[in-house]
Structure 1
């Protein structure tokens, strides 16, 4: 079951962060991230994208994913520290535009 999801298209570093919808976590939990990302305008560029778990009282560390993932997800995990309502913050760490999407599950 997807908790939170996001998508972005032709997103530049200057556009700021992209956020998922808000989702609730009942206790400390390991969250599974499933992401797809690519650089616009080039089939060979491997983009670097930062993913953070955030809420009004918590700003997680950036989990940087480097690569081009279009035909399959790149999966990783981030621990939610405890009960609360969270969002995923997505940051473009490149000097060019990127596109992608993703979602979080338990």
Structure 2
């Protein structure tokens, strides 16, 4: 990367037009990127295996052992009795509007 910056700076100073990077600097930049990537991979693998410590098991089954099959997915707060499915029934009679109900009460 530094080679590219230096090459561009040299071209600006000498007032030459930038056509492309020199082949040798392009190859060296690609090899530098490849080497840095491989070194980073090995450092990450080393850190995961030796520095981070032991992984702990996530014990989700402990909470599930105390629940029965009936209460496992039974969540009463999700019960909905007033849903749009009843409007699809052929016997459905829509309720009166609130204003009509208030007039009937008075």
Higher RCO, Cα 8 Å, sep 6+: 1
**Larger Rg: 1 or 2?**
2
Task: Name the TM-score, length of structure 2 as normaliser.
Answer: 0.15
Task: Name the TM-score, length of structure 1 as normaliser.
Answer: 0.15
Counting strand residues as a fraction of each chain, which structure ranks higher?
A: 1
Counting helix residues as a fraction of each chain, which structure ranks higher?
A: 2
